Amino acid sequence: MACAGGAPVLNRVRDGRTINYIGRAAAGAAVEQFTVRNGIGRGGPKLIPYIGCKSGFMHIFDQLVPDDPGRIYDIFGGGGSFAFYACGRFGAKKVVYNDHNPVVANLVRTLQRDPGGLHAEYQKHYSKSSPEYYLGVRDKDLLDGTRGAGRFFYLAKNAFSGKIRFNTKNKFNSPMRKGARCPRVDADALRSLASSISGMEITCRDFAEYDDISGSFVYLDPPYMNNPNGHYNAVVGLDEFSRFVQKIEGRNRVMISEQNDPDSLRLSPGYTIFKVSLRRSLQYFTQNGSSEIIAVNYDAGHG
Ligand SMILES: C[S@@+](CC[C@H](N)C(=O)[O-])C[C@H]1O[C@@H](n2cnc3c(N)ncnc32)[C@H](O)[C@@H]1O
């Protein structure tokens, strides 16, 4: 496989498996391929701050997602950055957004169906916002259609350090940002995002229910495994995730975002691993100097 800038391909054999590391580094040195920074490059469409948000990854998706993906599944959709990106590039009718957290799925569904109503609900909270008010909203039903979505939207936009955090009962439990004013939300921007995702399928299932898909492009951005940081309502087990990947990888093109060493994911031979260096704010959970990987099971035609 050719690489951008004539970058070498480093093949490492571990436990009889070949892993292709692609990057500019000399053999044996740390390999670096992509960098994500705040304010640099094309930011993707974003609804709310979200732990693990990939809205800074658009330049990476441009390079690694093939032009003919077939149906596109964002199985751990979260804040929706990959699904929104895919809608913009390939058309919303090809895209499936899934997240098993019903609060998050309800927000995305409401945005799609009723952006005007979502904005009106947000405005109600905007005009009353205060630390006490925030705590009161946190105790209300976040699943109640447009009203619930408006509440969650308000909470997410005002959460401390952009940390959207749920307990295992899907109860949102992030504290409020200190001393900051409630951000304004532009109604036209909401409508425009809603129109770009019109026709996207939105589901709220466990990822394992998607183990029968085929002929598709599957993006997997699970909660970081081996890192039960309490941000999401659940942690995905490594064994369960590996089994799922093994079931779908022969029938689909698969792209995986993860934070752990590729070895710990127990990927089959033939995956290409890209290192992504993150130099961006804590709002997105990852601090300066940390990194993630992206693994793909197809020829990404990179460069
Ligand atoms: C790293 S986040 C995804 C971030 C997303 N790519 C973005 O840009 O906002 C992982 C998501 O997986 C969801 N999730 C956790 N366990 C799941 C499961 N068993 N099935 C489906 N989704 C799950 C969480 O609710 C969370 O939104």
Show me where the domains of the chain are located: 4-100+205-296, 115-188
Q: pLDDT class for 40, splitting at 50, 70, 90? A: low
Q: Which pTM value belongs to this model? A: 0.87
Query: Any residues with CB less than 8 A from the CB of 276 and at least 6 apart, and which?
Result: 33, 34, 35, 36, 57, 60, 291, 292, 293, 294
CB of 211 sitting under 6 A from ligand 1: no
| Per-residue model confidence as pLDDT tens digits over 221-257 | 998 776 555 555 557 888 899 999 999 999 999 999 9
4-100+205-296 carries CATH number 3.40.50.150? yes
Query: Any residues with CB less than 8 A from the CB of 292 and at least 6 apart, and which?
Result: 257, 258, 259, 275, 276, 278, 286
How far is the CA of 232 from the CAs of 80, 151, 160, 243, 278, in angstroms? Answer: 15, 18, 15, 21, 21
Token duo for residue 208: 């394992």
Q: What is the mean pLDDT of residues 180-206?
A: 96
CATH of region 115-188? 1.10.1020.10
Report whether pLDDT(11) > 80. Answer: no
Per-residue confidence (pLDDT) for residue 76, from 0 to 100: 97
Write the residue with the smallest CA distance to atom 13 of ligand 1: 76
Q: Do domains 4-100+205-296 and 115-188 have the same CATH topology?
A: no
Rounded CA gap, 271 and 274, in Å? 10
Per-residue confidence (pLDDT) for residue 168, from 0 to 100: 79
| Per-residue model confidence as pLDDT tens digits over 47-61 | 999 988 999 999 999
Ramachandran area for residue 153 (φ above 0: left; ψ -120 to 50: alpha; else beta): alpha
Token duo for residue 284: 């997105």
Per-residue confidence (pLDDT) for residue 300, from 0 to 100: 87
Per-residue confidence (pLDDT) for residue 3, from 0 to 100: 34
User: What is the 53 CA–ligand 1 centroid distance (Å)?
Assistant: 10
User: What is the 233 CA–ligand 1 centroid distance (Å)?
Assistant: 9
